[in-house]
A and B are shown apart, each in its own frame.
Chain A
């Protein structure tokens, strides 16, 4: 599953640093261990080359599924963290708040160990793919060989840049050197982006292949790379990686907050949780738009694939997706609301009503989003449903309603963030009233227009709704964000703080909310990985190379969900291990420093402690 054909990656990096011994071990295991496993070859392969091998008892697909998913999640983490760290470093540089710089540094430190772990799983995955799917891998290698070379070069550049970025952090702190460091961070992310999009081309080629019968190797590789779903997936994954990085940072902060023993620790991890949640939400808001674009491209490329996803046997999957996204929206908003009521003393009464209103809107929207409608893939399912449409709530199950509520949920979440931003401050600018009236007007009109378009969508042909109404809804919500954000920033520039934010006062459930958000994001990634893989149905490469193995079927959602949960759990444990290993040295140092009576600023805190500590 999970586009297993397209990820012969990361092996190049295992020759670097910590990964080198892992690469050696892998090579040894692959060559020495394979015969001992008693891998079963398919009968058809005996005469004309082996097409498939299987792993008895476990099943080749199951093991590839888990390894590929873990590798992809780790890769998302490894690519998301540099974006997160670089943004934090820039904020620290621009605002002069050192805690941001320390946060960025500590998260960059995680990269060295997580980079090696990602490479390890990439290597295992590559060996498995070559072993279990030799014919498919041979075909992909034949088409994509030029991009393999590009990929290796990119990896060398990324590794070198990472080393300079990490090891040069302390040496490049002042003046022009800091700018050079920021430029290094920029290139780190540029190379990481290209490292992401090259394997994306292999995976998306499997779903929407472009095959040239003639032409040079380069021309064939380029045509295959620039396939219809390549860029939509690139953008979707880029944003999703930012979301993953942010929410994992939040989850880490949540766990440390729960186990914090001192007031400083609580303050510090409370603040870190806020930053993680903020960056996660920042990425989450545009993510549905990128997903919408991807689905549009899939429909444009092949109607059957689109309908298989949205209205065929995978349609229940999108109800689960709605549930996960809904919980994520609720979790993120809940954390914002707790921030307002616990960090800003005296604000609870003021914001209770707006919060309750937003909660009701979110729950209603989630209810609509989760309503099933056109879910019939077969007569059997129709029988189970009692007809082609849901008997009671079919009217809310159509795309017109779902697009409307998704946009409304984004608007509500955006307003939660704006509310949090403005809480505890009083605008002093002379034009503040006008600005607030404009913002209220823009928000109100936008919400009304989104709803009107949604209702109108029931009465127009599908093509009008898809091509005009849905696009208009998305553009309206984007317009709201792009209007209100700069206006609020301008307004708050001259605002005076009426109530100082108090860190470290959040209740324990805030920590659990942050963990829940991270789990939701990881589950969503595993769910959509299954969706993209299953949308190819019984094809390795859609319409080009058929899957003729015993695993040519896509398993039902329940079975798949068990694997998603397993992968999510294993990934969480891996990340926890990486955090533990990366901070082990700090704890030891902190112990020594504490014993010598030094400042608590040297505590094992991941991100340099609170602002007060920075100022000491």
Chain B
């Protein structure tokens, strides 16, 4: 039995208990307690009725150099990072979206060079490229691009290269990032280390 089902059963029991109190008990305070139980039970049941999404810590993609043989392998890792640890999809869409707070990344790998994308990720305020859509007036966005190589996102150099490979692949462009550029994780220095208590 799943956790949600168990909680739903508990919720139903609480509501049932509350209804029973209201039906069979005269004491006013107890009746109010029953009423509160019904309200809380209904609230819990409603919360259990919406999609149940837990927020897990981002999975660390393992860069086993021996297993990364092609640029497509890198792009596959980059895709995972794009939707998880990199948090890119939080702000960016792939395809037009009027409600998006940040630029649409569809075809971005064809529009921008690899170096430009790298700079946009690691020095996002170095050059603000407003006319990215190449159509209509430049659009100003409320969001500010974070430093991807610093906390709280803190992608490593390997991870950034993989994301670039994914963006190029997604745009139908040849991937210019080579697996030979992947370094052993212990050698990467792109990430600002997490500050510890000491």
Contact = CB atoms under 8 A, between A and B. Distances in A.
Contacts of B31: 258
Interface in A535-561: 537-539, 542-547, 552-561
5 contacts: A255-B32, A307-B91, A307-B101, A314-B55, A462-B99
A582 B28 CA distance: 19
A543 B146 CA distance: 12
A572 B47 CA distance: 20
A516 B151 CA distance: 43
B139 interface: yes
Nearest to A462: B142
B129 interface: no
A545 B196 contact: yes
Main secondary structure of the interface of A (DSSP, over half): helix
Contacts of B10: 562
B41 to A, nearest CB: 7
Given A512-B32, A559-B54, 8 more contacts: A255-B29, A303-B102, A462-B99, A515-B36, A537-B57, A542-B152, A557-B48, A576-B29
Interface string A340-377: 00000000000000000000000000000000011101
Contact of A311 (B53, B90, B146): B90
Contacts of A255: 28-29, 32
Contacts of B7: 558-559, 562
Interface in B166-198: 194-197
Contacts of A534: 55
B64 interface: no
B163 to A, nearest CB: 15
A543 B151 contact: yes
B36 A313 contact: no
Contact of B53 (A302, A461, A556, A569): A556
A433 B143 CA distance: 49
A378 interface: yes
B35 A512 contact: yes
A378 B86 CA distance: 13
A552 B142 contact: no
B97 A299 contact: no
Interface in B76-96: 83, 87, 90-91, 93
B83 A323 contact: no
A316 B99 contact: no
Given A378-B53, A556-B52, A307 B32 contact: no
Contact of B51 (A135, A316, A462): A316
A211 B195 contact: yes
A542 B144 CA distance: 17
Contact of A557 (B50, B57, B90, B194): B50
Contacts of B50: 316, 319-320, 557-558
A583 B51 CA distance: 45
A572 B36 contact: yes
A381 B50 CA distance: 11
A549 to B, nearest CB: 10
